[in-house]
Amino acid sequence: MKTAGNTILITGGGSGIGRELAARFHALGNTVIVAGRRKEVLEQTIAGREGMLAITLDMEDPEAITACAGQLLADYPSLNVLINNAGIMRREDLTRTRDLHNAEKTIVTNLLGPIRLTNALIDHFARQPDAAVVNVTSGLAFVPLSGTPTYCASKAALHSYTLSLREQLKGKVEVIELAPPGVRTELEPGQSNREGFMALDEFIEETMTLFGEKPTPAEILVQQVGFLRWAERNGHFDQAIEIVAAH
């Protein structure tokens, strides 16, 4: 993936990892479009940055995704990179019957949202030079945190989907997976101050260095996530489950 001269759409661009990726890619000379539900935080992301734009998009609404994609392609025909970053995490108690609203919302946002948006753009991307799709998964796709089971399942599913997407689009569209460790953002309330989590600026710095490698790695993995990504292969999966559960 080239790191300059792109037109990039980043979902979940109003905060956290999405906001910082937007700033860094914009600084490299890309046109960046950030998408999310809350207009006010998107406006904060783009404030003072010429060539960065904001659009509101509800990733739970399939009709909104289709309409938004059509408008984007009409307004920005040079669009060639999609970063599927939007996601939510909710705690769930599986020991009793419960309302499944949060579980269903998580699957729709974290899995169906990226599938739908990629689908809406893929014909265009297949005709674009230097096109790329970046799916943001998680280290928890490989070692789940039991307190957030549907989040972990959605990221594991997105990892698997990304593998198939990469194989089918080989030679047409570059497909990259970005799997963060626990990062100090507000994905969960209080997470931005949590012990043992990676500082956001350090994560972004290492991530952008990896994006700059030639060729770009198929998986963008900062050093800290390796413990989770390779837990099963390296024989410490049970230990990793216990460590993750402590958080």
Please report how many Cα atoms fall inside a 13 Å half-sphere around the Cα of residue 46, on the Cβ side: 20
The arithmetic mean of pLDDT across residues 189-215, rounded, is: 88
At 190 the pLDDT is 67
Domain hosting residue 186, numbered range: 7-245
* pLDDT at site 156: 98
pLDDT tens digits, one per residue of 81-91: 999 999 999 99
In this structure, what is the dihedral angle of CA atoms 167, 8, 61, 123, given to the nearest 10 degrees? Answer: -50
Annotate the chain with DSSP letters as a single string. --SSS-EEEEETTTSHHHHHHHHHHHHTT-EEEEEES-HHHHHHHHTT-TTEEEEE--TT-HHHHHHHHHHHHHH-TT--EEEE---------TTS----HHHHHHHIIIIIHHHHHHHHHHHHHHHSTT-EEEEE--GGGTS--TTSHHHHHHHHHHHHHHHHHHHHTTTTSEEEEE---SBSSSSSTTGGG-TTSBPHHHHHHHHHHHHTSSSPPSEE--GGGHHHHTTTTTT-HHHHHHHHHT-
Q: What is the pLDDT of residue 76?
A: 97
For residues 118 and 175, is the Cβ–Cβ distance under 8 A? no
- Could you tell me if residue 2 is inside a domain? no
> Would you say residue 217 lies in a domain?
yes
Predicted local distance difference test score (pLDDT) of residue 247: 74
pLDDT over 70 at 191, yes or no: no
Give residue-wise pLDDT tens across range 208-240: 999 999 999 999 999 999 999 999 999 999 999
For residue 189, the model assigns a pLDDT of 66
Is 151 considered catalytic here? yes
Residue 228 is assigned to a structural domain of this protein: yes
- Residue 85 placed within a domain: yes
Whose CA is closest to 18, among 210, 166, 218, 183?
183
Mean pLDDT value of segment 1-5: 96
For 129-146, write each residue's pLDDT tens digit.
Answer: 999 999 999 999 999 999
Q: pLDDT tens digit string along 24-80?
A: 999 999 999 999 999 999 999 999 999 899 999 999 999 999 999 999 999 999 999
Number of domains in the chain: 1
Q: What is the CATH number of the domain that holds 39?
A: 3.40.50.720
pLDDT of residue 192: 67
**Arithmetic mean of pLDDT over the chain:** 95
Residue 1 lies in a domain: no
Residue from 151, 197, 203, 227 carrying the catalytic annotation: 151
pTM for this entry: 0.95
Would 184 be classed as within a structural domain?
yes
